[in-house]
Structure 1
């Protein structure tokens, strides 16, 4: 981990703003590219991006969903507090998605763990993750949700 990380604090670079149905990816040289439009009627439920200095299972940077009330912009860096994570099955692979809130958004101070989110919102996240890749013909399943403690344990091995 870099000096910017503890096991529950990470720096996230936003690629996709909340509500967008367009998926963008940042290239290694820093340029932002349109990747695809999401299938289905739902946009991203938070700002979506990657964690600086932590790799995911696929060798790319670890993905993160930042829960906030207003979208930011591609390329914005956000210091985040980790609430937990989702483990997704994507075809034959597994992918972890961190669920975070901005550290300096005091409207989110009451959220300290994934279990602090309302059950219906967690079910909406399940639905989003299961459908956001539908046009790619890749089946996505939510294999498990992880609490902050379980996520810390998983991150400590990276």
Structure 2
């Protein structure tokens, strides 16, 4: 009896996905259903599929749609992805202040790429006031986590006495 109910519920959910207004046209319709029903892991998986173009060419608008949902739920990978999308203007209008916000949220959860990007943003003055001291602090943290670009930037700062 449970099996019949589960099959009925799954069929109902899948048919809803086909008729949905939600942008989901990947071949894995169950993934669409889970994402549509608020399962964060499915949302970030769809965002990555659309960002990378796993099934066809990349679709940054759909990647942003699903990534933002997961980011708002606190998913660190999604927060980093949305930060990068705002930083680069992919799927959304370029906005350094919003990129900074999302990188900061991801940094709070320990994301090493977010640390590196915060260093870049402070160094270049994008979305925040230029601040080499803070930039190098972020580069130092990201370098300690093994990010080669940050190590290069941090080691360069020591040579010019900016520690």
The alignment's TM-score, normalised by the length of structure 2, stands at 0.27
Q: Which has the higher contact order (CA 8 A, sep 6+)?
A: 1
More strand per residue: 1 or 2? 1
Q: Provide TM-score, normalisation by structure 1.
A: 0.27
Query: Which is higher, the Rg of structure 1 or of structure 2?
Result: 2
